[in-house]
């Protein structure tokens, strides 16, 4: 029998995504992409904070540099200092293409690997015109030798860092490859047979199992390192987006979700859509890798780039 998650925070996100656990702060960071908003939530006192971004925020990484985050904004990468609101641009990505950044995660060496998503004209079909990229510690950007992608997702790494997991969501298959300075040949790790669902974001636990949020199926699926479906965590919302292991012992599975695209009837049947969910994982996760690059030496002044909205417990509704 599958376990079930419960609401940890009624965030009401349109498109919650990119969740990571910061062990230094004992807090979760994630984004509501469509609202261009960075969220932080501390489970110990249920405090939620928000920061408005200058454009849509797709993915997030923790940094080795104290107090800084790495942001994957729709069109560019940037450092962000939440305490002051300082935003320090790094580089644009895929300028001139009809794409935006999407899923991303740091590898075990402290480099940021991310992919993009095709945004066609209204009514157009998504095409695999996006790519997977890596931001190195020296802030150089390189395209990974992987096939083109329409909707990048599931970026995660094995515990030893030698396997990269990723997917193109519409293909309904999670891929993997040998990983190091270069990427090996792609191979299929797991397939989704249910046409109602697509693989979204993933996390890997200490035993090497891959946990994948499955959009449309209302679940997080746990796959063994060999790609066998072991069990699922049921999410009381049809569009879970990404899991992360958190809590003092990394034994809680937190999951973001989305309301995007749901009609009135669907929203009435799943009023928690867009919430942050939590469930006992039954295992332990791995500490979130941190980006090794150094932010620029800039003076930080409160409110210089993004406004912070601080919400008390029970008020975390946009």
- Collapsed DSSP state (helix, strand, coil) of residue 269: helix
Q: How confident is the model at residue 316 (pLDDT cuts 50, 70, 90)?
A: very low
Asked if 208 contacts 187 with a C-beta cutoff of 8 angstroms, the reply is: no
pLDDT at 160 over 70: yes
pLDDT at 238 over 70: yes
Q: Tell me the mean pLDDT in the region 204-233.
A: 98
pLDDT at 296 over 90: no
Q: How confident is the model at residue 297 (pLDDT cuts 50, 70, 90)?
A: confident
pLDDT at 187 over 70: yes
The pLDDT of residue 3 is 85
| Separation of alpha carbons 231 and 301, rounded Å | 48
The pLDDT of residue 122 is 87
The pLDDT of residue 44 is 96
Q: How confident is the model at residue 216 (pLDDT cuts 50, 70, 90)?
A: very high
Asked if 169 contacts 201 with a C-beta cutoff of 8 angstroms, the reply is: no
Q: Tell me the mean pLDDT in the region 24-44.
A: 98
Asked if 157 contacts 204 with a C-beta cutoff of 8 angstroms, the reply is: yes
HSE-CB of 8 using CA atoms within 13 angstroms: 27
Largest CA distance in the chain: 54
The pLDDT of residue 301 is 55
| Separation of alpha carbons 228 and 149, rounded Å | 24
Please give the C-alpha separations between residue 13 and each of 20, 28, 36, in angstroms, as whole numbers: 16, 15, 11
Per residue in 250-263, pLDDT (tens digit) is: 999 999 999 999 99
Of all residues in the chain, the percent with pLDDT exceeding 90 is 91
The pLDDT of residue 283 is 97
Q: Tell me the mean pLDDT in the region 192-204.
A: 96
| Separation of alpha carbons 286 and 304, rounded Å | 34
The pLDDT of residue 1 is 55
> What is the number of residues in the chain?
318
- Collapsed DSSP state (helix, strand, coil) of residue 267: helix
Per residue in 58-87, pLDDT (tens digit) is: 999 999 999 999 999 999 999 999 999 999
pLDDT at 98 over 70: yes
- Phi and psi angles of residue 301, each rounded to the nearest 5 degrees, phi first: -130, 135
Q: How confident is the model at residue 291 (pLDDT cuts 50, 70, 90)?
A: very high
Per residue in 115-137, pLDDT (tens digit) is: 999 999 988 999 999 999 999 99
Six token digits for residue 96: 């001139």
Instruction: Classify burial at 124, counting beta carbons within 10 Å of its beta carbon; exposed 0-12, middle 13-18, buried 19 or more.
Output: exposed
- Phi and psi angles of residue 87, each rounded to the nearest 5 degrees, phi first: -115, 125
Of all residues in the chain, the percent with pLDDT exceeding 70 is 93
pLDDT at 246 over 70: yes
């Amino acid at each position: 029998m599958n376990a079930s998650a419960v609401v940890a925070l009624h965030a009401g996100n349109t498109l919650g995504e990119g969740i990571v656990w910061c062990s230094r702060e004992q807090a979760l960071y994630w984004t509501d992409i469509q609202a261009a908003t960075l969220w932080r939530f501390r489970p110990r006192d249920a405090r939620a904070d928000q920061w408005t971004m200058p454009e849509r925020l797709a993915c997030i990484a923790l940094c080795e540099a104290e107090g800084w985050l790495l942001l994957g904004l729709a069109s560019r990468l940037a450092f962000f200092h939440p305490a002051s609101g300082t935003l320090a641009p790094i580089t644009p990505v895929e300028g001139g293409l009809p794409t935006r950044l999407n899923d991303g995660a740091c590898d075990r060496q402290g480099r940021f690997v991310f992919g993009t998503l095709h945004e066609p004209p209204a009514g157009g079909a998504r095409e695999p015109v996006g790519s997977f990229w890596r931001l190195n510690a020296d802030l150089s950007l390189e395209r990974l030798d992987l096939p083109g992608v329409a909707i990048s997702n599931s970026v995660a790494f094995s515990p030893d860092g030698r396997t990269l997991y990723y997917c193109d969501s519409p293909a309904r298959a999670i891929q993997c490859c040998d990983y190091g300075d270069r990427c090996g040949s792609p191979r299929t790790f797991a397939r989704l047979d249910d046409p109602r669902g697509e693989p979204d974001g993933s996390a890997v636990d200490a035993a090497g199992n891959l946990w994948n949020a499955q959009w449309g199926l209302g679940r997080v699926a746990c796959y063994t390192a060999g790609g066998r479906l072991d069990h699922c965590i049921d999410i009381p919302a049809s569009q879970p987006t990404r899991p992360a292991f958190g809590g003092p012992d990394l034994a809680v599975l937190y999951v973001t979700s989305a309301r995007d695209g749901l009609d009135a009837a669907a929203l009435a049947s799943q009023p928690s859509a867009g919430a942050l969910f939590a469930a006992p994982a039954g295992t332990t996760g791995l500490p979130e890798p941190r980006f090794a690059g150094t932010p620029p030496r800039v003076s930080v002044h409160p409110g210089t780039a993004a406004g912070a909205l601080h919400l008390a417990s029970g008020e975390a509704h946009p």
